[in-house]
Structure 1
Amino acid sequence: MNLHEQQLQMASYVRDPLHNPPPADIEARRLRIYRELFYNSIEGLLAAGFPVMRATLGELPWHARVRDFYATYRSQTPLFTEVGGAFIDYLHNADLDAPWQLELAHYEWIEAQLFRADDAAFTEPDTADLLEGEPRLSCLARVLAYRWPVDQIGPGYQPSAPPAAPTLLLVYRDQHLQVRFARLTPMAYQLLAGLSGSGRQRLQALGDEQVQAQGLALLKDLHSQQLIIAVDYCAGALA
């Protein structure tokens, strides 16, 4: 057996010792150290990125899920910061532990991405008026829609069926480096994610003057928090 074959055998065993034989020339104690070292590194990264999922699933289901990911998924990135994204990709094709698991994972991954985002996002200037220009969402904010109430799921609440209305959220990182979320009304979601055009055009598409006034108040509030900026019309879209 050449060196490459030895490395493959070792890697296969460390990934999935239940279905792959150990190398014959390494003592069991050392192999156990390697197995635990590599697994604990991946499990620790995922536990830090998906704490709500870990607590909600419980110890045994959580570790079974991580071990299956570790054994079967072939990541295309060497970056530790991208392991969470690889885990979500894996969940898309996995037999889920709960029907809300994928959406909860995505929500927690967004939180992690915002926490690591570049502070320079707060320095991006306006280039147009809020009404005449086109509102653009800061890279420190996301407008999200889920079937499941991902902001409420936890060890004490695990719904078996999605609610009638979707969960609409604005998730953002404030200037104190805290990731926060706010529930959005359908009107607010439509204004921020469902319409195109200038601020004025979006407000006019919402409805009557009362609804437009509520929308304008929301735009001004988010603008004051630097969660949206106004750019020259057609220079960029809210995304």
Structure 2
Amino acid sequence: MAETLREQQLQLARHIRDPQRNAPPPGIEARRLAVYRQLFLGNVQSLLAASFPVLRASLADSQWHELTERFYADYRCQTPLFTELAGEFVAFLEQRGTDAPAWAAELAHYEWVETALSLSDSREPAHDPQGDLLEGVPLLSSLAWPLAYAWPVSDLGPGHLPGQPPEQPTLLLARRGDDQQVHFARLAPLAHALLESVRDRQLSGREHLQALAEAIGADPEPILRQGLALLQALHAQGVVLGTRNLCATHRRQHSSAPRETPR
């Protein structure tokens, strides 16, 4: 009896998720099944529309319904939390094979960032707020995210949907400030590359800047001067928290690691 009930529940769930490919359970009239489907799918679509207002407004109704119905039918979320549904939808759009416009995944990610940073409860590791940013290992705040997009996501909307991405990427810094609001700012290529390097590798400030100079084939001295001034400005803004509390041995191990080319 229990196994029969379980199979009926699974059959009902499959049909509600995707009625085109799954037959309804016997004994339930179609009108009732349609009500169930509208309740479940409608809730998901409402949550997604609230999380992605610009994306929703930029898509035709048919595109939006097709995307959200396919997400509901085919994508297997890795979390039961409604607050993380938007991130799951971004992952769905980033998969190959969706019929969404080429800019849709990046626009969705850009909109999701604000929600993710607003809800973040991450804790900063131990650090020295007054550490030497050039000789020490700079620490990027976990609430400051350097972002790079092929599409001009901050300008996209119903009145501006270009057919091709521009030649230059859109480089941004998203951060949650002391006012608990999420702010976006444009970044120059050097600033973006430096922030990505600080985020991804535990090197001294000097080593980050020397690696960047080497990557672009520039004289390291001007890069060191500009980079140190940039680190100090970012520290004043709270984007760079200070330097990591690392023992000398640990620092040397990271310093001797092979260098990666900044993205």
Cα distance, 1:150–1:159 mapped onto 2, change above 3 Å: same
1:214 to 226, 238, 248: 226
1:202 alignment partner in structure 2:
208
Distance 1:200 1:186 in 2: 18
**1:228 partner letter:** V
1:6 alignment partner in structure 2:
8
Between the two proteins, what is the percent identity of the paired residues? 49
**2:88 partner letter:** A
Q: 1:135-159: per-residue Cα shift (whole Å, max 9, x none)?
A: 1211101112221111211111111
Q: After the TM superposition, which of the residue ranges 72-81 and 154-163 deviates more from structure 2?
A: 72-81
Aligned-residue offset at 1:202? 3.1
Aligned-residue offset at 1:210? 4.9
Aligned-residue offset at 1:209? 5.1
Any gaps of 5 or more consecutive residues in structure 1? Answer: none
1:165 alignment partner in structure 2:
168
- Aligned pair 1:176/2:179, yes or no? yes
Any gaps of 5 or more consecutive residues in structure 2? Answer: 214-218, 256-263
- Aligned pair 1:54/2:56, yes or no? yes
Three-state SS of the structure 2 residue aligned to 1:171 is strand
Cα distance, 1:189–1:11 mapped onto 2, change above 3 Å: same
**1:163 partner letter:** P
TM-score scaled by structure 2?
0.79
Distance 2:96 2:122 in 1: 34
Aligned-residue offset at 1:201? 3.4
Three-state SS of the structure 2 residue aligned to 1:2 is helix
RMSD: 2.6
Aligned-residue offset at 1:167? 1.5
1:96 alignment partner in structure 2:
99
2:82 alignment partner in structure 1:
80
Q: 1:167-225: per-residue Cα shift (whole Å, max 9, x none)?
A: 11111111112111111111112222247521233345544655444333322222122
TM-score scaled by structure 1?
0.86
Where in structure 2 are the equivalents of 1:115-154 lying within 5 Å? 115-118=118-121, 121=124, 125-126=127-128, 128-154=131-157
**1:66 partner letter:** T
